[in-house]
Amino acid sequence: MTAYFELKAAGREFVWTLKSADHDVILTSEPYQTHESALNAIASAKKGAVDDKRYDRRASKDGKFYFVLLAPNGRGVGKSEPYKTRAALESGIQSMKKNAPQALFKDLSEE
């Protein structure tokens, strides 16, 4: 099994997650107003995942670490799950770089 993007409808918006082969969440998208814009963001995530400059590494107020994947225009495409350590954060980024480009796609937005 391989990693996969999973697209769901959330009310009138669309949200996707990138999940590992083990079904762990790697990245969760921002909400998108249209199905097409969500699909475009997935394409951007797949293409940009290998570029280290697209990762904005951050720390939350509670001392956990996370990253935001940026689009070429600098806007956030999605946010990672929180990590306890910087090393775990870097491991999450490596997982994103490895898995996103060839990830499968599951459209659950019409179910």
- Whole-model pTM: value is 0.91
Banded pLDDT at 10 (limits 50, 70, 90): confident
Cβ(48)–Cβ(57) below 8 Å: no
pLDDT, tens digit, for every residue of 16-69? Answer: 999 999 999 999 999 999 999 999 999 999 999 999 999 999 999 999 999 999
With H, G, I as helix, E, B as strand and everything else as coil, classify residue 98.
helix
With H, G, I as helix, E, B as strand and everything else as coil, classify residue 23.
coil
For residue 65, give the nearest of 51, 78, 81 by alpha carbon: 81
Name all domains of the chain by residue range, CATH numbers in brackets.
Answer: 4-107 (2.30.29.80)
Cα 104 from Cα 33, distance rounded (Å): 22
Q: What is the pLDDT of residue 111?
A: 61
Which amino acid makes up residue 29? S
